[in-house]
């Protein structure tokens, strides 16, 4: 079936099997392999992308559900020579080793920072009436959907704190 996707500011017309997930559409059909497949079941977060500004697991989203949506993948966050502050901070703090979960971590953190700025509370938020502040504890709670087996967690938290702290 045909789907129109707006990815990283460009229009892509996708002709694909109706069962194609957004993740496989990106990886198999559009050559955007920066979005990673770690589990295909929404358990690891490696496929996190932004759909209309919100973070979603691309593996749990059918491509055809995104017809007309604005999608940002890691390739749209920044590229070598023009990295986003968060991407640069990940390098400086060694927020990755193998790098496979990294695009998902960065997309997730990008949206998470917006969620904090918008005042969304989390399980780690103490006072629901006070403004939400960025802390290591908030970041750990909100980023727990993104697994990293190399376990660069402390470095990722430091990278995010540097950008938003």
Partner 1 sequence: MTRHRKIDHPDDDNRLDSMAQGVLGKPVDRLEGPLKVSGLATYAAEARPSGMVHGVLVRATITKGRVTAIDRQAALALPGVLAVITDPRMVRYSAQGMADKGPKAGPQTVDYHGQPIALVVAEGFEQARHAANALHIAYEEEPAPVDPDAVTPEMPQAKQKAQGDLDAAMRDAAFGIDSTYTTPTLMAAAMEPHAAIAEWDGDNVTVRAALQMLASDRKQLADALGIELERVRLLAPYVGGGFGSKLGIAPEAVAAAIAAKELGVPVSVALTRMQEFDITHRRSESRQRVLLAAGADGVLTGIGHEVLVSNLPDSPFSEPVTQATPFTYQAAHRRIVHRIARVHRSCAGSVRAPGEAIGVTVFEAAMDELAEAVGIDPVELRLRNIPDREPGTGRPYSVNRLGDCLREGAHRFGWSQRRAPRERREGEWFIGMGVAAAVRVNMLIESRARVTLTEDGAKVETDMTDIGTGTYTILRQIAAEMLGLPVDAVEVHLGDTDFPPAAGSGGSFGAASSGTSVYLACEDLRTRIAERMGCAEAELRLQDGRASFRNDTRELRDLLAGEVLVAEGHVEPGDAEKQARQATWGAHFAEVAVSRYTGEVRVRRMLGVFACGRILNEKTARSQCLGGMTFGIGMALTEAVEHDPRSGHIVNRDLAAYHLPSHADVPAQDVIFLPDRDGFAGPMQAKGIGELGICGAGGAVLNAIYNARGVRVRDLPATPDKVMP
Residues in region 43-72 near partner 1 by CB under 8 A: 43-44, 46
**Ramachandran bin of 111, using left for φ above 0, alpha for ψ from -120 to 50, beta for the remaining angles:** alpha
Tell me the three state secondary structure of residue 98: coil
The β-bridge partners of 62 are 21
Binder to partner 1 among 4, 54, 85, 91 (CB under 8 A)? 91
Is 103 within 8 Å of 37 (Cβ atoms)?
Answer: no
Q: By CB under 8 A, is residue 98 in contact with partner 1?
A: yes
Find the binder of partner 1 among 2, 11, 13, 31 (CB under 8 A): 31
Could you count the other beta carbons within 10 Å of the beta carbon of residue 100? 16
Nearer to partner 1, 116 or 156 (CB): 156
Q: Is 100 in the site for partner 1 (CB under 8 A)?
A: yes
Helices (H), the chain: 22-24, 74-77, 85-92, 102-117, 136-142, 153-164
Whichever of 61 and 73 has its CB closer to partner 1, that residue is: 73
User: What is the binding site for partner 1 (CB under 8 A)?
Assistant: 16-17, 19-20, 24, 27-28, 31-41, 43-44, 46, 73-75, 77-81, 83, 87-88, 90-92, 94, 96-103, 106, 136, 139-141, 143-157
């Amino acid at each position: 079936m045909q789907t129109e996707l707006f990815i990283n500011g460009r229009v892509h017309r996708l002709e694909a099997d109706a069962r194609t997930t957004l993740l496989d559409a990106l990886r198999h059909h559009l050559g955007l392999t920066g979005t990673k497949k770690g589990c295909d079941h929404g358990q690891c977060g490696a496929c996190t992308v932004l759909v209309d500004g919100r973070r979603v697991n691309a593996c749990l989203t059918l491509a055809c559900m995104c017809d007309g949506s604005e999608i940002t993948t890691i390739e749209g966050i920044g590229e070598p020579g023009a990295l986003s502050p968060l991407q640069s901070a990940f390098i400086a703090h060694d927020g990755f080793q193998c790098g496979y979960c990294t695009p998902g971590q960065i997309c997730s953190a990008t949206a998470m920072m917006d969620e904090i700025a918008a005042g969304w509370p989390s399980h780690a938020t103490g006072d629901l009436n006070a403004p939400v502040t960025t802390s290591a504890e908030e970041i750990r709670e909100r980023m727990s959907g993104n697994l990293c087996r190399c376990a660069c967690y402390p470095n990722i938290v430091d990278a995010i704190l540097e950008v938003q702290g």
